[in-house]
């Protein structure tokens, strides 16, 4: 059943791993397509504003020159010569002339025959009179805009300010006076209501359902430019980007799915591998010394299980212990650890009542009916006493209060010492610990690492020490790596410690050798006495 669930979850995660990158690629392509269309519309609108403003500046400058120099005699030969100079030097103005009523009576392009301009369409707040669409006899097919000020007027081609985006013929462009709802110049379908979306902003970009629209206000004149890009541009660009991104997303998704499937297969294979490791004898033990912080003497070791596969790969317990617990293999693993301790230690403990070996046990071991018998058999073969073993159990292993009290009580009654391991990482309360029969409290390395760092957890270790002292428990600090940490713990009454400062984990043969060297001077001194 568990395997089927893992397979189904793996398939679900793998499908998600494939689908999510593709979905992200499509979403990104749509976002990029929209961004590109908005940028394009805004670019066109800004360009139209620039052209419109430049046209306005040239008109203002030209008319100002005519008024200053020939305002009193507007149609003299000298005035018409100046009109032609302004006409030729301007990039936007088509012609310049003088207006009386609705007629242009003289200009830079006339032979003295007046042109009929027609009525004024609207007048700006800067006293410019605007005629939006004027046709002249010599070019009846083209419309022009005539801008008049104090009788002098400039003629500009109606489409010149919007003569941009020629490569995009279905882009709509327009120039509006903000004082009049009708466009002064336009190309393509333009909704006058678009300009209302500008409000008090300098520029806006939005979608009206058919177009991406940009509206940009002139900083100099009361005008605004509009550019509208059809939404099919967004779809086209999105498709183009999707054609690039979706294959990448597909490859990434497949790679991720394969990686997940591989990891899942490894997870499914690990229980079988752990079983094989137990059967083939691939597990072994290393022992880390535990020292008395006051004397520096080794008073015990913790047995740490290791797994070296037939390939030579070393697998650490953080990976295979949870697998063993989840798949009902932890009891067998604990029994194998006891066998290895018996083999490694032999009769070394027979005459060393003050030296102990710490062994990690799991909640499942407590439920095994022959656990105590197994421990007793191990001790008999080693000719050791119950006090030579410390059974270490994590806080999560003591969460069932009924089993915890029964088991710790039975172990203590049989003479075994019990330690709560990795204390501070679980949920034990002071009142709960008081109800258990314990001998040792092991302070987790995460709190030891924080000593002297100023981290918030650096204060926790002092509370743990105070709790252990209230419960009259001996303390063992794990993961001590600096003299500063050792001094801190010693000063606060912590009795024992283990960590790289005192020694890394090692085969038991090295433990024997170290203790032999330590005991030799003492034996010599006793003989001399």
Which residues does 264 contact at the CB level (< 8 Å), separation at least 6? 6, 7, 9, 10, 13
Q: Which letter, b or e, does each residue of 475-505 get, where b requires 16 or more Cβ atoms within 10 Å of its Cβ? A: bbbbbbeeeebbebbeeeebbbbbbeebbeb
207 & 302 share domain = no
If you average pLDDT over residues 263-290, what whole number do you get?
80
Q: What is the pLDDT of residue 464?
A: 87
Q: Which helix (H) or strand (E) holds 286?
A: strand 283-292
Mean pLDDT, range 99-113, rounded to an integer = 87
At 437-496, the pLDDT tens digits run: 889 999 988 889 888 777 766 678 888 898 888 888 999 999 999 999 999 999 999 999
Evaluate whether residue 130 is within a structural domain.
yes
490 falls within a domain: yes
CA distances from 205 to 40, 45, 149, 181, 242 (A): 11, 10, 34, 19, 24
Same-domain status, 225 and 286 = no
268: pLDDT strictly greater than 50: no
pLDDT for residue 17 is more than 80: no
Residues 6+ apart with CB under 8 A from 110: 97, 104
- Of 170, 204, 232, the one marking the end of a domain is 232
Longest Cα separation, the chain: 142
CA distance 286 to 363: 23
Q: State the residue for tokens 């918030």.
A: 456
Q: Does 174 share its domain with 319? A: no
The angle that helices 2-70 and 77-89 make with each other, rounded to 10 degrees, is 160
Cα distances (angstroms) measured from residue 458 to each of 17, 160, 171, 428: 40, 74, 66, 19
As a whole number, the mean pLDDT across the chain is: 81
Q: Quick one: 205 and 309 in the same domain?
A: no
Q: Is residue 113 part of a domain?
A: yes
What are the residue ranges of helices labelled H in 389-459? 401-413, 430-434, 445-449
Confidence of residue 428 (pLDDT cuts 50, 70, 90): low
- pLDDT for res 238: 47
C-beta of residue 358 within 8 angstroms of C-beta of residue 390: yes
Residue in this structure with the two tokens 């490569």, named with its chain if needed:
167
Q: Which two tokens stand for residue 139?
A: 């070019």
Residue 345 within any structural domain of the chain: yes
pLDDT confidence bin for 115, thresholds 50/70/90? confident
pLDDT of residue 241: 47
Q: Where residue 357 falls among pLDDT bands split at 50, 70, 90?
A: very high
- In a shared domain, residues 220 and 301: no
Q: What is the pLDDT of residue 521?
A: 66
Residue with more model confidence, 521 or 485: 485
Q: Is 290 found in the same domain as 228?
A: no
Residues 140 and 288 in one domain: no
pLDDT band (50, 70, 90) for residue 384:
very high
Most confident of 39-43, 89-93, 122-126, 224-228: 224-228
CA distances to 217, 340, 473, 474 from 469, in Å: 77, 34, 6, 8
How many separate domains does the chain show? 2
Query: Residues with Cβ < 8 Å from 77, sequence gap 6 or more?
Result: none
pLDDT tens per residue, range 28-76 = 555 666 777 788 888 888 888 888 888 888 888 999 999 999 988 899 9
Nearest CA to 165 out of 190, 187, 183 is that of: 187
pLDDT higher than 50, residue 188: yes
What are the distances in angstroms from CA 509 to CA 213, 287, 347?
82, 10, 13
**Percent of the chain whose pLDDT exceeds 90:** 31
Supply the pTM of this predicted model: 0.52
Find out whether 132 and 148 touch, Cβ atoms under 8 Å: no
Of 162-176, 192-206, 479-493, where does mean pLDDT reach its minimum? 162-176
Which of 48, 51, 40, 47 is closest to 229 using CA atoms? 40
Residue of 7 and 272 predicted with greater confidence: 272
**Same domain for 160 and 291:** no
Whether residue 287 is found in the same domain as residue 225: no
Name the one residue in this structure whose structure tokens are 């252990």. Answer: 468
* H-assigned helices in 122-230: 193-196
Question: Taking a C-beta distance cutoff of 8 angstroms, is the pair 196, 217 a contact?
Answer: no
Residue 191 covered by a domain: yes
Q: Whose structure tokens read 């020159």?
A: 65
* 311 occurs within a structural domain: yes
Domain with 110, as residue range(s), is 2-232
Higher-confidence residue of 316 and 30: namely 316
Instruction: Check residue 429 and report its DSSP letter.
Output: -
**242 in a structural domain:** no
CATH classification of the domain holding 416 = 3.20.20.450
CB 184 within 8 A of CB 157: no
163 and 286 inside one domain? no
3-state secondary structure labels for all residues of 466-515: HHHHHCCCEEEECCCCCHHHHHHHHHCCCCEECCCCCCCCECHHHHHHHH
* Alpha carbon of residue 236 to chain centroid: 31
For residues 110-137, give the mean pLDDT. Answer: 84
Let me know whether 58 and 205 are in one domain.
yes
Task: Let me know: does 442 contact 422? Beta carbons within 8 Å.
Answer: yes
Any residues with CB less than 8 A from the CB of 207 and at least 6 apart, and which?
Answer: 213, 231
Q: What is the pLDDT of residue 242?
A: 46
Of 506, 505, 475, nearest to 293 (Cα)? 475
Find the helix packing angle between 317-326 and 330-345, rounded to 10°. Answer: 130
Do 182 and 294 share a domain, yes or no?
A: no
Residue 525 lies in a domain: no
Of residues 4 and 437, more confidently modeled: 437
């Amino acid at each position: 059943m568990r395997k089927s669930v893992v397979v189904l979850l793996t398939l679900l995660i793998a499908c998600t791993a494939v689908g999510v990158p593709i979905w992200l690629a499509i979403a990104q392509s749509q976002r990029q397509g929209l961004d590109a269309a908005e940028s394009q519309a805004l670019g066109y609108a800004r360009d139209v504003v620039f052209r419109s403003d430049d046209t306005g500046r040239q008109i203002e400058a030209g008319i100002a020159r005519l008024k200053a120099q020939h305002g009193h005699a507007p149609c003299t030969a000298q005035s018409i010569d100046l009109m032609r100079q302004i006409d030729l030097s301007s990039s936007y103005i088509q012609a310049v002339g003088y207006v009386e009523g609705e007629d242009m009576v003289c200009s830079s392009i006339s032979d003295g025959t007046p042109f009929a301009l027609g009525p004024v369409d609207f007048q700006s707040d800067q006293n410019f009179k605007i005629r939006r669409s004027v046709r002249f006899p010599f070019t009846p097919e083209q419309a022009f805009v005539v801008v008049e000020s104090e009788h002098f007027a400039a003629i500009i081609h109606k489409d010149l300010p919007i003569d941009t985006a020629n490569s995009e013929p279905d882009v709509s462009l327009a120039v509006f006076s903000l004082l009049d709802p009708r466009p002064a110049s336009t190309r393509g379908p333009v909704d006058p209501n678009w300009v209302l979306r500008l409000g008090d902003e300098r520029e806006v970009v939005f979608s009206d359902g058919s177009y991406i629209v940009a509206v940009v206000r002139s900083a100099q004149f009361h005008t605004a430019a509009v550019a509208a890009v059809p939404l099919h541009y967004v779809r086209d660009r999105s498709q183009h980007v999707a054609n690039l991104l979706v294959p990448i997303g597909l490859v990434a998704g497949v790679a991720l799915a394969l990686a997940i499937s591989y990891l899942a297969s490894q997870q499914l294979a690990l229980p079988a591998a752990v079983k094989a490791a137990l059967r083939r004898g691939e597990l072994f033990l290393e022992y880390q010394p535990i020292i008395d912080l006051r004397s520096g003497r080794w008073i015990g070791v913790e047995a740490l299980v290791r797994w070296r596969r037939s390939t030579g790969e070393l697998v650490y317990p953080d990976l295979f212990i949870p697998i063993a617990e989840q798949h009902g293999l932890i009891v067998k693993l604990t029994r194998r650890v006891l066998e290895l301790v018996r083999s490694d230690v032999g009769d070394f403990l027979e005459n060393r009542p003050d030296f102990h070996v710490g062994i990690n046990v799991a909640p499942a071991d407590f439920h095994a009916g022959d656990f105590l018998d197994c421990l007793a058999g191990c001790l008999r073969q080693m000719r050791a006493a119950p006090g030579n073993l410390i059974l270490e159990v994590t806080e999560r292993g003591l969460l069932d209060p009924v089993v915890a009290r029964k088991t710790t009580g039975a172990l203590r009654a049989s003479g075994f010492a019990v330690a709560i391991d990795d204390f501070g990482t679980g949920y034990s309360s002071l009142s709960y610990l008081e109800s258990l029969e314990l001998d040792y409290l092991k302070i987790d390395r995460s709190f030891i690492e924080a000593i002297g760092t100023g981290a918030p957890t650096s204060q926790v270790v002092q509370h743990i020490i105070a709790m252990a002292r209230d419960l009259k428990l001996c303390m063992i600090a794990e993961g001590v790596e600096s003299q500063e940490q050792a001094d801190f713990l010693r000063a606060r009454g912590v009795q024992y410690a283990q960590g790289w400062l005192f020694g890394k984990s090692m085969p038991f043969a090295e433990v024997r050798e170290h203790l032999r060297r330590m005991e030799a001077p003492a034996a010599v001194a006793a003989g001399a006495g």
